[in-house]
Amino acid sequence: MGARTVVEVAALRALMGLPEPVQRVLAGPRLERDGQVLAADLQLMLRIQRLVREPAIETLEVELGRQAAVRQTGLTGGRQPIGSVREVNVAGLLGRLYTPSAAGAPVATPGPLLLFFHGGGFFFGDLETHDATCRFLAERAGVRVLAVDYRLSPEHPFPAAHDDALAAYHWVLEHAGSLGADPSRIAVGGDSAGGNLSATVAIDAARAGLPLAWQLLVYPATDVAGETESKRMFGSGLFLTQEFMDLAVASYTPDAATRTDPRVAPLRAELPAGLAPAYVVTAGFDPLRDEGEAYAAKLADAGVEVELRRFPDQIHGFLNIVGAGRTSRAACAEIADKLRAVMNPTG
């Protein structure tokens, strides 16, 4: 980490760690929409980004945007503790296995494992952008997390990411022993585009009659072609913009006819019997809020065991903010605690 980055991290943590009343003053008039109030630390963070003229990722050339994403998530994620980390070749894809410690001792083997797919609109994001997130989830939940680097668009448009996610799931089933995983306690999860991939993998697993214990869908993209009130209400100034979403859709699905394919839009899928129970997380100030909640309702209507949790004061991307501020980390802690309760109840 360079000296400039160290200073940036320290400054951001200091500002986002200030008492909430002070943050309210610095952040400006509180932002209230749809009966919700944006968290003061997040409103301050967004204001800081504007003041320092942090470029929006969607305004940059693709490779520069990917580099910016790594830097930005490094600022908000920090360096989270973890028992151990090792690189894994997952069906020809780069993978990273996070093994937590439990009171200073290794976790039980075999144990539960979360196969994690990162967000990033299918065209950015990697093992580095979500390193802090995976460390945090694994260590707090006491659950192994295997993160996978699937192919990105525009170099590899649909169905590349979906095919990679499905191949990774099959590989995990076949190699559970070498991962320290109990095949009966394997879950899939991810945020945004990763939530989309997790949902579609769960659908494929159910259709094939393969084991899957749980699905963790954090502000999932479930209908890229759909129009919702949350997209209209929150599509500017709150990190995830309409411009970003348009670029993501154009990059991943250059053929417009594929945008309603159920492998792209699980909200439009015919749900099979036997779907794994789901925990669907949404953020109040997120353009994807409504489609995530619509998918939770669809699961419930199909008889799937599902729990919906909206964090009304959060924005899209809060899963990456575990190293600065209070409110996003608290939300992530609640998600990790749910992961522990479901997958590792005796851990």
For the chain, what is the radius of gyration of the CA atoms? Answer: 19
Provide the edge-to-edge strand list for the sheet that holds 144-149.
84-90, 93-99, 144-149, 111-117, 181-191, 214-218, 278-285, 306-315
- How far is it, in rounded angstroms, from Cα 161 to Cα 200? 11
Q: How far apart are the first and last CA of the chain?
A: 34
- Known catalytic residue at 313: no
State whether the Cα torsion 3-9-12-14 is positive or negative: negative
Q: Which of 126, 149, 162, 192 is catalytic?
A: 192
State how beta strands 93-99 and 84-90 pair. Answer: antiparallel
Q: Which of 204, 223, 286, 313 is catalytic?
A: 286
Q: Which of 130, 162, 316, 328 is catalytic?
A: 316
- How far is it, in rounded angstroms, from Cα 278 to Cα 314? 21
Plot region of 330 (φ>0 → left; ψ -120 to 50 → alpha; else → beta): alpha
Check: CB of residue 147 under 8 Å from CB of residue 119. no
Check: CB of residue 109 under 8 Å from CB of residue 182. no
- Alpha-helical segments (H) within the chain: 3-16, 20-27, 40-51, 62-77, 131-141, 160-174, 176-179, 193-208, 229-234, 242-252, 289-301, 327-343
Q: Find all residues with CB under 8 Å of 171, minimum gap 6, and list them.
A: 90, 91
Check: CB of residue 216 under 8 Å from CB of residue 188. yes
- Known catalytic residue at 316: yes
- Known catalytic residue at 192: yes
Q: What SS3 class is residue 246? A: helix
Strand partners, 187: 114, 214
Tokens of 27: 């952040």
Q: For 285-320, b where at least 16 C-beta lie within 10 A, e where not — what string?
A: bbbbbbbbbbbbebbeeeebebebebbebbbbbbbb
Give catalytic residue positions. 192, 286, 316
